[in-house]
Structure 1
Amino acid sequence: MKKLRALLALTFASVALTACGTVQTPENSNTEVSEQIVYGTISAVGSRPYMVAVQRSNALTRNWCGGSLIASNWVMTAAHCVEGYTASSFKVRAGVYNLSSSTEGQTLSVSNIYIHPSYSDVGYGYDIALLKLSANVTHPNAAPGAIPSSTVDSTLVQSGQTATVSGWGLTEFGSSSNQLREVTIPITPDGSPCGGTPANTICGPYYQGKDSCNGDSGGPLARRYNSKNYILGIVSYGPTECRGQGVYTRVGKYASWIRSISGVVAQ
């Protein structure tokens, strides 16, 4: 059973996800929601400098989706987080670790949204979008992550490797947390442990019940390698239970598209 991993009310694509965990969907829909980083830990301030919060413009202390800073004025997120909305609908907060603080980090407006032209639904892949910011991120706790080259991607996205996913949302205990949380999971390019996946995705197989979940959509699946923070994946969707088998857009496979839109070159 699939569900998107976004947090607040999403009305596009006939899906409504709510912060309280209740779902109202059309008849015959199997989309459900439970928002959390499951069995993770609180991130140390400054440890995830590429992590940003993608928020609705009228709700700067609540999260909508996650995102990754990939240049001083570019953010990468999931297409399903922004589909159907205008750029003025969003703000991005960089360098923030506690969302309850309205002054922590740096808040910027979004000037343009670029959704991959082949995206139609998470079940078909291409769940990637780029946000052009209205100004440069300058906060000391924020720094871009790297887009993996084909060599780095093929090295790190292998069975037996691990990566860390981070985001905001409820914990496994059902209580909300405004603090950024993270969890390290095994990854594989083979989609069979996740029940079969679209092309150019990464599967996070079951491992001790650890997982990303709703509220984490668009956020980074990252790995430190050769002194760089590589963004290997983007949180896309997964089973309702949020105990493993999450699916992530495989960023390295979109390096050419990312460069064509933003000018950001894979490393």
Structure 2
Amino acid sequence: MYFKILIVICVCLSYSANGIPLESSEQDLKRYFDPRVIGGENTPEGYAPHMVAILVGDEVIQLILCGGSLVKLNLVMTAAHCLTDYEIMKEFFHGALGSNNWKTGGKRVEFQNYHIHPEWDPVLIKNDVGFISLTEKVELSEHLQLAAMNFDFVGEEASSVTGWGWVANWALTPFHLQVLEVTTLSPEDCADRVREASSVWWPNSPHVDPKIEICTLHSTGRGLCFGDSGSALMSKESGTQIGIASWAFTCALGVPDMYARISAFKDYIQSVMEQY
């Protein structure tokens, strides 16, 4: 039984948590496409009560696959690429919410259905939006709240991202939720920086589309990495969700990290939420 679990986890991490099955070598995938928070800090208790840890494994072996945000009492929003293997591995998927420590406290939940954006493109990494539903509704509390959506177009704005992803290259994932305060870039600055980074770090990287993606940047040594895909980008001003962690260059190189832009997917997000 343990061998089966380990094999399933390895397959899931190779194709979902690392990002997307791009037309690239396995080495390139590991090097260039593995979102996680590096350089963040431990969150105070009760911070980001919308956060959901999407886990894979069983009571013996559990690993963080992705983050997500609770948007309805029985619905979690995350990245589409986090769910591409759900159908064949659903018996190993489960979640944790209501606590900043995914290992202890809070509530364990089971999933029963999922939605992936109909125009999700795993090669160009576009329309990276998905949902996974819970088997039953949860009760809100001080430590468990719904994420409010922001459907306004966001330019440059102070924001933050939280997640349980790796805190250093090839390190173990933390149990305690991490937060990194970042700044969103203007569409022009985002596109220019990604174009420049592509020529140095990732010649065949996807292009950035500011209409449907939003970039953030902190500094070298602080950014997304493995395990944080699907986590919510929150506006510091309004406290609302403005993005979903999607893809990144090699961890924390001082170049932009990419998120699916919430405002670009208003119709799709609302259509799924209305079903729950």
Calculate the TM-score normalised by the size of structure 2. Answer: 0.77
Find out whether 1:205 has 2:217 as its counterpart.
yes
- Deviations along 1:14-70, one digit per CA (max 9) or x if unpaired, are 84868xxxxxx9648621256642111101111110111011252674311000111
Q: How much does 1:182 deviate?
A: 0.7
Find out whether 1:247 has 2:243 as its counterpart.
no
- In structure 2, the partner of 1:238 is 248
- In structure 1, the partner of 2:65 is 64
SS at match of 1:126: coil
SS at match of 1:166: strand
Q: How much does 1:214 deviate?
A: 1.1
Residue 94 of structure 1 contacts residue 137 of structure 1 at CA under 8 Å; is this kept in 2?
no
CA distance in 1, matches of 2:93, 2:169: 29
CA distance in 2, matches of 1:223, 1:247: 15
Q: How much does 1:97 deviate?
A: 1.4
Q: 1:184 to 1:139 in 2, by over 3 A?
A: same
Q: How much does 1:133 deviate?
A: 1.1
Find out whether 1:186 has 2:183 as its counterpart.
yes
CA distance in 2, matches of 1:129, 1:254: 11
Aligned pairs for 1:7-156 (under 5 A) are: 9-11=10-12, 15=15, 27=25, 30-33=28-31, 36-58=36-58, 61-86=62-87, 87-101=90-104, 104-121=105-122, 123-138=124-139, 140=141, 141-149=143-151, 153-154=152-153
Q: 1:211 to 1:28 in 2, by over 3 A?
A: closer
Please report the RMSD computed on the Cα atoms of aligned residues, expressed in angstroms: 2.8
Residue 77 of structure 1 contacts residue 130 of structure 1 at CA under 8 Å; is this kept in 2?
yes
Residue 61 of structure 1 contacts residue 99 of structure 1 at CA under 8 Å; is this kept in 2?
no
Q: 1:84 to 1:219 in 2, by over 3 A?
A: same
- In structure 2, the partner of 1:5 is none
SS at match of 2:241: strand
Calculate the TM-score normalised by the size of structure 1. Answer: 0.79
Residue 220 of structure 1 contacts residue 231 of structure 1 at CA under 8 Å; is this kept in 2?
yes
CA distance in 2, matches of 1:119, 1:16: 14
Aligned residues: 241
More helix by proportion, 1 or 2?
2
Q: How much does 1:231 deviate?
A: 1.1
CA distance in 1, matches of 2:48, 2:26: 39
Q: Which runs of 5+ in 2 are unaligned?
A: 1-8, 196-206
CA distance in 1, matches of 2:26, 2:52: 34
Q: How much does 1:217 deviate?
A: 0.6
Residue 218 of structure 1 contacts residue 234 of structure 1 at CA under 8 Å; is this kept in 2?
yes
Q: How much does 1:109 deviate?
A: 1.0
SS at match of 1:30: helix
Q: 1:53 to 1:169 in 2, by over 3 A?
A: same
Deviates most, 88-97 or 212-221: 88-97
Percent identity between the two aligned chains: 24
